[in-house]
Structure 1
Amino acid sequence: MSLDTIKKPIDQELIKFEQHFKQSMRSSVPLLDKITYYIVRRKGKQVRPMFVFLAAQVCGGVVEATYVAASLIELLHTATLVHDDVVDDSMERRGFFSVNALWKNKIAVLVGDFLLSQGLLLAVRNKQFRILEIVSDAVKAMSEGELLQIEKARRLDIKEEVYYEIIRQKTASLISSACQAGAASATTDEDAIERMRLFGEKIGLAFQIKDDLFDFGTDDVGKPLGIDIKEKKMTLPLIYALNKSDSATRRHIIGLVRRHNENPEKVKEVIDFVRNSGGIQYTEAVMLRFRQEAFDILETFPESESRTALRDLVTFVTERKK
């Protein structure tokens, strides 16, 4: 199933959204306009706006508030990517130079702040306070999740339940808010809005777990092999493998991650350890469990073309190759 096929029920909405989103990034400062133009030209797959529009259609239909919700979500997402590249000292984003690579860290941080403030102002000016509340909760959760991960990376003592909390806050909160905001733009039924929030959270968890699996796969995917290990990030495949190992092996592997994470041979040893300990199979099973839980929630909504497209979008993001 291609993304173009999934988009069909919301093709016209996405075209209108493009204009709405570009307008929301406009500035009277020439440098800002130049940078935001660069960002827009290198946009991603627009998965999160798709969740917003499809969730709205499932819950009653796309209205003007839905475009505000989609733009706000995409502005927040773009701001976090710009900030993440500064934090990670990354010089590339989607195969192109990152903003900080071209304009340095100070400007990149300010651009991220500008995008976030534009999103918040967009909601206020359109009096979409419910949507503003939803997205503000996501901003808070994403910041807390990032800091929790940094704290745990220092000690390398993360447990499985802590890992789920990190990815729930860091990644799932944004997808969850996209689905919740889409629903809130189309209905006042709080039960439907909450079900859509929970649906998005389950998908966000599955999405991040899929992303973490790439670190232990072949090196022909978009993400460099072993990058999480090099950054001392404890993800589910490694956590499971460590929990299944004896104390001596556990100490040895943690020692490699802590002291030899820049050594390609040692990183490969950790990857082989995870592969040989059943970490990949276990993690795939967990991802599929979260996906099925999302499907079960989706089934509580009336059958429609949009519900089918939403299910297909979930399948796409959990079966992607990079």
Structure 2
Amino acid sequence: MYNVKKSLAVSAALACLLGIGAPAVSHAAYQLNEEVKNPTPALKEASTIGLRVHNTESMQNLANKDAIVVMSFGTTFKDTRAKTIDATVNAIQSAHPNTKVVTAFTSHIIRDRIQEKEGITYPTPEEALTQLKADGYTRVALTTLDIIPGMEYNYDVAVYNLYKNNFKKMTLGTPLMYWMGQEGQADEVMETVKAVSSQFPKQGKDDAILIMAHGTPDPSNAYYSVIQDRVDMAGLNNVFIYTVEGTPNLEQVIPQLKAKGIKHVTLMPFMMVAGDHANNDMAGDEPDSHKSILEQEGFKVDTYIHGLGENKDIRNIFVERANEAWDALQK
């Protein structure tokens, strides 16, 4: 992880918060310009993006005892959990064999259901950090299995802000996709699109692939437009992204399929796990499932019910994100 210096000046204009500086070379955080002598807490918070790093000055005399917390929404679907979340956490653990790695679920409902049905207890991020504190850990790298910096990632950021002063040092990494190539940063959207395309079936001129994302009321829903742009830039013809709970939705994509003369569609989830949305909303037999709707519109439909976590290339990216948070913890 490298540091990136961006120009930030104190001004009434919001644009002055994001000044122009030398191009960055990595997935870094931004820093205030040295001319800002006494930044307010609000200014510091507004300029904190990308990888987050916090040092608690009063604890710097404590010995280092490090841990990694992997945060995921979770799933009650046991089989896909093993193939996606567990497999990714195992890959992160393999990259850090001598480090304690804890899996924490941000969905309290899913956590409770797993505990009730399977007798397995996944801590919430808050519980995981409280236990690490009790066990004497002093430095924690938080990493996430979120796809975009949406509402779930907002939860991760909130956990970081609420608990960072409890530890000597804490870092928070970024989701699968964060940077889009702006200001010299890596284009993680294109990186992800190329990784996902490794699982695409071969297509004829009458075939299309629909990748189903979750969608969010958060403004980060705009990521899906960027993803479609990168799909097109990569030359992946007749590949469309749509969402269950955002935009674009399936109803917006169907006219595009018809305009292109598409006869056959393959549906696949653009989500970490193949859970309820993939098995029921996308591929279910109910009349309102995406598969049924497309068949009613005259398309032949195949389904690919595998979460992104089953894709080795995607898992490798998540390991990179964890490594970035870990490397920052070691500096």
TM-score (norm 2): 0.24
Q: Which structure dedicates a bigger proportion of its chain to helix?
A: 1
State the TM-score, normalized to the length of structure 1.
0.25
